[in-house]
Amino acid sequence: MQIAQTSPGTGSSPPRARMRSDAPSQLLDGSWRFRVSPSLRAAPGGEWDRADVSAWSTIEVPGHWNLQGHGSPAYSNVQMPFPLDPPFPPDANPIGDYVVEFEVDPDVAGHAAQTLRFDGIESAAEVRLNGAVLGTTRGSRLTHEFDATTALRPGTNRLAVRVAQFSDASYLEDQDMWWLPGIFRSVTLLARPASGIRDVFVRADFDAATGAGSLEIDVDADAEARIRIPELGVDAPARGTVAAGAVAPWSAESPRLYDAEVSTAGETVRIRVGFRRVEVRDTELLVNGAPIMLRGVNRHEHHPERGRVYDADFVRDELLLMKRHHINAIRTSHYPPHPDTLDLFDELGFWVIDECDLETHAFEYVGWRGNPSADPAWRDAYLDRMARTVHRDKNHASVIMWSLGNESHTGTNLDQMALWTKQFDPTRLVHYEGDWSCRYTDVYSRMYASHEEVRQIGEEGLAGPATDAAAAEARRASLPFLQCEFVHAMGTGPGGIREYWDLFEAYPRLVGGFVWEWAEQGLAVRGEDGTRRILYGGDFGEDVHDGNFVIDGLVSPDREPRPGLTHYAAVIAPVRLAVDAARASVDVANRFDHADLSGFELVWRRVVDGETVAEGRIPAPACPARSAAEVALPDEARAPRDAATADVLTVEAVTLADAPWAPAGHAIGAGQDARTPRAAAPAATADPAARFDETTGALRGLGALEITGPAIGIWRAPTDNDNGRLHGEADPRRVAERWEQAGYDRTVSRLVAFEADGGSARIRTRTAPPILDCGIDARLTYTAVGPAAVQLDVEIDPTGSWPVDWARLGLDLTIDAAPTGLAYAGLGPVSAAPDMVDGAAFGWWQIAPDDLTVDHIRPQESGARQGVVDATVETAAGALRIRALGDPFALTVSRAARAEIARAEHNWDLTADGKTHVSIDLAQYGAGTASCGPGALPRHRLAPGAFRASFLLEASA
Ligand code: IPT
């Protein structure tokens, strides 16, 4: 077996479309015999495929062997886990031998020929059937078919597949994910009837001006073929152009498909046809004549237990979850997914960038020296990968762009892939991010460009081709712009989505983006104590790894939404509602690209102090795609501008009918006008309500509640984004590093003055980081307003010169009992940061103890609720109510102390200390998305400054 070549695999049939055929087939999946050798040289040679396998272990196909007890997984991002020595893998390279014995089903055997199909083997394989070498595979996530006709025989057949974990192909498959070897997609034996159909390519075009559909058909068959689309009355020879008459077009919003069959005398294949036309016109991306906006995510195939093995229910569920969150576009990062996924994309409605299985990112480490993309020796391998990608998925309406791959820099092999693709399929656009000159792409694509650069790109397009610019630049300026990756959903964050989206909507040339990434790719194992744990890079003892950089999704590995998904959904919601309670009206903006609002109604609700006082529903206004209308609400919706109590008018646009992804009543947009007047300060009482530690000035208790604090806090447990590099700044240090070096995590406090008389106490403290001469002078005045209640007035004045921004400015206190919940009025129920609040609405929320903070796989600061005006922190020992007398505050309630959160590397290693940790923050530094991308925008940072705030604190049993 060869595993160090630069050419593609050998012996397979030319790639073709995936179709549903009426010819019989036989799935060979199941329990196979398996053995693994430590290297190719150590693996038995010669007729290894004839070995006695009775002593071999068994393995499930499809599956990855290192998730089935043979070796362990390894995660690396850009770096290869071995030397850059192309095309050679290292000697230490597990070789898996697979053997299965089977009898051919009579109905499969009864046909003229048989094809053996592999849908995915990582990374290189040699296939032997009954001793005959059928060929080899390259392209782990690509289909390979072999003609098995002459090798098959009656009775028992033996199929043997030797798989190398690493090979030359690994250099072309350096995607940011786990290395997971094995036969991980199905193996199928297909009957090939005489006069059968080898391949079908149907391009279904839609003319928006006339409403007519037409088909351009290529069939590869030994006999005459006809195409039938009963619903359209189409019944014609399957070649050339066939008119389809008036059709409903396909779009991600209305994924209308028509069942088509192509038949010869020997075979009928079924495909589902969606009529649509993709074009670039005047820097805009149009489908069916209308501009579209890509509200996208990057989707890897990942299952916490099974890796990249396809699970139909799991995948359908995750796509439905995307639909419920208004996601309308998917980039199949960074390889074609399981073929059935494309059927789901078509059926549910997603704009898809189908990406070739290609990434040579590791060569960036050596300045792209030796990059296969620019080495003609690899040309055929590149072209083979692209052809396999395009052919397999070419009949899918959802695919609007072919992507050459990811992060493979530039080179002639990429140019040729693009040229072949354009020639073969001019109905779609070619995407590739790695060449910013856009010489051979149809869209200008970038990743993680800053807001400012995106704005400039938006304007560059508006200005039109510049006459003095180089031709290439002029061409680029004529293309639509998208971010194939933006906002990195790692840990707490991403912040700044809204600001990107405002730009996307402001400039016609900007057609949206794809969040990196959909799901966190953690792998589940059983811990010593039997509990399920999610692991990341390094946890399996890898020498080379990239830690938790693989945990960077909008949903957890189990597809539980992270707060970032809720906020993203709100930003991209197809309907935006601007509510004016005083006028009882709502401005409805329809942000669909094709749909009007006839499928929706508006549901409104007016809530006063937590009680619903009026509600109703009215039809959505007549409002074509990308237009707006004003709607008057009934008079009961009106709230006085000077309401004395909290008066909140919320309007949602909801679906009228059940959709495959959500029952009727699903919100596709929401808006509210929340009037939250400040609570009035109650009268002072003479008896003390609070107890103090007179040596520190901190509280010891309020009423019957044991409390310690508040301390002034300016640090947070570093988030993944705090640990990211800030681009374009003179200071190369990450913000977490800056805070730590400035000592913000270990400030020291000194009591300056303590005075108490009757019900009031005045405390002055100075809190400062060690070493430096800056400090925070705090004046805290407590005034008893009841037997267990105080008014707390806070004055904060920083002095001296502060080296860096604060992470937050808060009053940190600890209650001597574990939290049992949180009830609050403020923005929620989802937690938020100042630069990620869109998915939070004002309301009266009840938070269960498990939801106080986010169970991030690597613990970090999380769980803040923004815009809080009134909160009751519930603990086993009683409750503490906190009310804002001035501005609303941000509230974080946690079971663990910040130092502990910062220490723990994994959520299963985080210890709760039986206390309730409460932070009442007057201000916070934004989340940003610096784990890959820009940090918090300047407006969301927190420069040291003076702050004033007033609260009511009240303890109850
Ligand atoms: C970018 C990669 O394309 C993607 O696969 C992923 O690794 C992402 O980063 C970060 O999670 S490449 C980066 C160097 C911009």
From the CA of 485, how far away is ligand 1's center (Å)? Answer: 8
From the CA of 724, how far away is ligand 1's center (Å)? Answer: 13
Residue nearest to atom 9 of ligand 1 (CA): 932
* Residues 6 or more apart whose Cβ sits within 8 Å of residue 624: 590, 596
Please tell me the distance from the alpha carbon of residue 904 to that of residue 861, in angstroms, as a whole number: 12
Query: How do 444-447 and 841-847 pair as beta strands?
Result: unpaired
Percent of the residues in the chain that have a pLDDT greater than 70, as a whole number: 99
Q: What is the pLDDT of residue 465?
A: 46
Atom of ligand 1 nearest to the CA of 549: 11
**pLDDT over 50 (residue 430):** yes
Residue nearest to atom 6 of ligand 1 (CA): 176
List, for residues 787-818, the tens digit of each pLDDT value.
Answer: 999 999 999 999 999 999 999 999 999 999 99
Band (pLDDT 50/70/90 cuts) for residue 640 is confident
Evaluate whether 518 touches 527 at the Cβ level (below 8 Å): no
List, for residues 220-240, the tens digit of each pLDDT value.
Answer: 998 999 999 999 999 999 999
Q: pTM of the entire structure?
A: 0.97
Query: Please, what is the Cα angle at 542 between 539 and 546, to 5 degrees?
Result: 75
List, for residues 836-854, the tens digit of each pLDDT value.
Answer: 999 999 999 999 999 999 9
Best probe residue, ligand 1, of 407, 432, 721 (max atoms within 8 Å of C-beta): 407
From the CA of 488, how far away is ligand 1's center (Å)? Answer: 9
Q: What is the three-class DSSP state of 360?
A: coil
Best probe residue, ligand 1, of 359, 447, 450, 548 (max atoms within 8 Å of C-beta): 447
Q: What is the pLDDT of residue 463?
A: 52
* Residues 6 or more apart whose Cβ sits within 8 Å of residue 491: 551, 552, 719, 720, 721, 856, 858, 860, 862, 931
List, for residues 547-570, the tens digit of each pLDDT value.
Answer: 999 999 999 999 999 999 999 999
Q: How much of the chain is in helix, strand and coil states, percent to nearest 5?
A: 15, 40, 45
Please tell me the distance from the alpha carbon of residue 913 to that of residue 709, in angstroms, as a whole number: 16
433 burial type by CB count under 10 A (0-12 exposed, 13-18 middle, 19+ buried) = buried
* Rg of the chain taking only CA atoms, in angstroms: 31
From the CA of 363, how far away is ligand 1's center (Å)? Answer: 14
Best probe residue, ligand 1, of 485, 515, 520, 552 (max atoms within 8 Å of C-beta): 485
Residue nearest to atom 10 of ligand 1 (CA): 932
Count CA atoms closer than 13 A to 660's CA, side-chain side: 17
List, for residues 726-757, the tens digit of each pLDDT value.
Answer: 887 888 999 999 999 999 999 999 999 999 99
Residues in the chain: 957
Evaluate whether 826 touches 884 at the Cβ level (below 8 Å): no
Nearest partner of 99 among 142, 69, 143, 55, judged by Cα: 55
Nearest partner of 312 among 332, 349, 338, 273, judged by Cα: 338
Atom of ligand 1 nearest to the CA of 334: 5
Best probe residue, ligand 1, of 173, 176, 297, 487 (max atoms within 8 Å of C-beta): 176
Catalytic residue numbers read 407, 485
621-626 CB contacts, 8 Å cutoff, 24+ apart:
621/588, 621/597, 622/596, 622/597, 622/598, 623/588, 623/590, 623/596, 623/597, 624/590, 624/596, 625/290, 625/590, 625/592, 625/593, 625/594, 625/595, 625/596, 626/290, 626/291, 626/590, 626/591, 626/592, 626/593
Residue nearest to atom 12 of ligand 1 (CA): 407
Whether residue 73 is preceded by a cis peptide bond, meaning omega within 30 degrees of 0, is: no
Query: What tokens were used for 795?
Result: 């004055």
From the CA of 125, how far away is ligand 1's center (Å)? Answer: 28
Atom of ligand 1 nearest to the CA of 448: 15
Evaluate whether 290 touches 218 at the Cβ level (below 8 Å): no
Angle between helices 379-393 and 339-348 (to 10 degrees): 50
Identify the weakest region by mean pLDDT among 32-41, 596-605, 637-646.
637-646
Query: What tokens were used for 766?
Result: 């100075």
Please tell me the distance from the alpha carbon of residue 378 to that of residue 372, in angstroms, as a whole number: 6
Please tell me the distance from the alpha carbon of residue 738 to that of residue 214, in angstroms, as a whole number: 61
From the CA of 256, how far away is ligand 1's center (Å)? Answer: 34
* Residues 6 or more apart whose Cβ sits within 8 Å of residue 926: 495, 496, 833, 834, 835, 836, 936, 937, 940, 941
Please tell me the distance from the alpha carbon of residue 4 to that of residue 378, in angstroms, as a whole number: 12
List, for residues 128-184, the tens digit of each pLDDT value.
Answer: 999 999 999 999 999 999 999 999 999 999 999 999 999 999 999 999 999 999 999
Nearest partner of 358 among 409, 415, 404, judged by Cα: 404
Residue type, 627: S
From the CA of 176, how far away is ligand 1's center (Å)? Answer: 7
**pLDDT over 60 (residue 468):** no
Evaluate whether 429 touches 464 at the Cβ level (below 8 Å): no
Atom of ligand 1 nearest to the CA of 406: 3
Atom of ligand 1 nearest to the CA of 78: 7
Band (pLDDT 50/70/90 cuts) for residue 48 is very high
Atom of ligand 1 nearest to the CA of 77: 7
Residue nearest to atom 4 of ligand 1 (CA): 176
Q: What is the pLDDT of residue 469?
A: 57
**pLDDT over 80 (residue 462):** no
DSSP 738: H
Evaluate whether 442 touches 281 at the Cβ level (below 8 Å): no
Query: How do 627-632 and 226-229 pair as beta strands?
Result: unpaired
**pLDDT over 60 (residue 479):** yes
Ligand 1 contacts (CB < 6 A) are: 77, 176, 406-407, 447-448, 485, 488, 516, 549, 552, 932
Q: Which domains does the chain have, with CATH numbers?
A: 20-192 (2.60.120.260), 197-276 (2.60.40.10), 280-569 (3.20.20.80), 574-675 (2.60.40.10), 690-956 (2.70.98.10)
From the CA of 300, how far away is ligand 1's center (Å)? Answer: 12
Please tell me the distance from the alpha carbon of residue 734 to that of residue 736, in angstroms, as a whole number: 5
